[in-house]
Amino acid sequence: MDYRFLGRTGLKVSELCLGTMQFGWTASEELSYRILNAAFDAGINFIDTADVYSRWVEGNAGGVAETIIGNWMKSNTFSRHQVVIATKVRSRVGDGPNDEGLSRVHIVEAVEASLRRLNTDYIDLYQAHWPDEHTPIEETLRAFDDLVHQGKVRYIGASNYPAWRLTEALWTSEHYNLTRYETLQPHYNLVHRAEFERELADVSRKYSLGVLPYSPLAAGFLSGKYRKGEVVESARAGRANRYATERNWALLAQLEQTGIDKGGNSISQVALAWLLSDPLITSPIIGPRSLEQLKDNLGAVGLRLTQVEKKLLDELSRWEET
């Protein structure tokens, strides 16, 4: 497994990050442990979660994925420093008026709950899940800054931030000498490029942020299981079907051909390699729901596209200003 620096931090993380949104949702607790063990044994040291996973499932109060990860770490013999744990705060996790958002009161309460569920005394990367328009950014950053100085959090990051809010946060940290966001977690893949590339890519490059794309396989559309005219039974089929256009069918065909040309790589491996071939990208967040999917995703580690291969995929998936 190859490793990369997480933005400006001294943390070295695996090329692929294991996402856990599926834990307690489309992956049972037992299967989640098996996925965690297999990923760790394969060299993945970077695990991403959130306190809200998976509250949208009936009977799930949230915090399930964090609890599974915490129990897994407690039951293993490796040292805590061998894994980099990233989690998020912002979503509603209770029924009280302050049980969501990025206010000081919610962040202080939420981090303690996450630490308990994760069975750890520190979080490597604590991320704002998305902006909170009702809380001044200075209040949010001061709360994060306190957690870093207390040793409960090592670094902070942002997820789902538009470029102007991300820049505002970075400038606020600089102005008040506060801990700054070191990473960005954007929605980014071959069929969803404009949101990141329009402005966020330049901000990330300028401020040396680690970039952790989520949904790198477009809710499974880039996994290879979707074919024109065929119906796929999947919990994420509704999200994936929005990408079913003539243009994207042509893209899938080229991904398949590129994989063949490279010696037998799958569509999903080539789609992940497209991200990994960009020096701006740190670690795409994969979300395997089975050991077979994990094994396939791991085939992208170390895989790189030539300039010609990447340019062809760039052209097939290019976006236009509107």
Residue 245 region by backbone torsions, left for phi larger than 0, else alpha for psi between -120 and 50, else beta? beta
- Asked if the bond preceding 223 is cis, omega within 30° of 0, the reply is no
Stretch 168-177: mean pLDDT: 98
pLDDT over 60 (residue 243): yes
**Looking at residue 125, what is its pLDDT?**
98
pLDDT over 80 (residue 277): yes
**Looking at residue 237, what is its pLDDT?**
56
**Looking at residue 187, what is its pLDDT?**
98
Answer for the pair 225, 290: CB distance below 8 angstroms, yes or no: no
232: confidence class by pLDDT, cuts 50, 70, 90: low
Q: Is residue 189 part of a domain?
A: yes
Count Cα atoms within 13 angstroms, Cβ side, for 110.
Answer: 31
CA distance 260 to 164: 41
234: confidence class by pLDDT, cuts 50, 70, 90: low
Answer for the pair 62, 51: CB distance below 8 angstroms, yes or no: yes
Give the global pTM: 0.95
Q: Is residue 209 part of a domain?
A: yes
Distances (CA, A) of 3 to 131, 223, 295, 300: 29, 24, 18, 13
Domain that holds residue 59: 3-316
231: confidence class by pLDDT, cuts 50, 70, 90: low
CA distance 83 to 310: 31
Share of the chain above pLDDT 70, in %: 96
Q: Is residue 59 part of a domain?
A: yes
Q: Is residue 321 part of a domain?
A: no
Mind listing the pLDDT tens digit for each residue in 15-72?
999 999 999 899 999 999 999 999 999 999 999 999 999 878 777 778 999 999 999 9
Q: Is residue 79 part of a domain?
A: yes
What's the CATH number where 290 sits?
A: 3.20.20.100
Mind listing the pLDDT tens digit for each residue in 68-122?
999 999 998 899 999 999 999 998 888 888 889 999 999 999 999 999 999 999 9
Distances (CA, A) of 315 to 9, 169, 251, 303, 309: 34, 33, 9, 20, 10
**Looking at residue 229, what is its pLDDT?**
59
**Looking at residue 233, what is its pLDDT?**
60
pLDDT over 70 (residue 230): no
Number of domains in the chain: 1
pLDDT over 60 (residue 235): no
Q: Is residue 322 part of a domain?
A: no
Residues belonging to the active site: 53
CA distance 281 to 267: 19
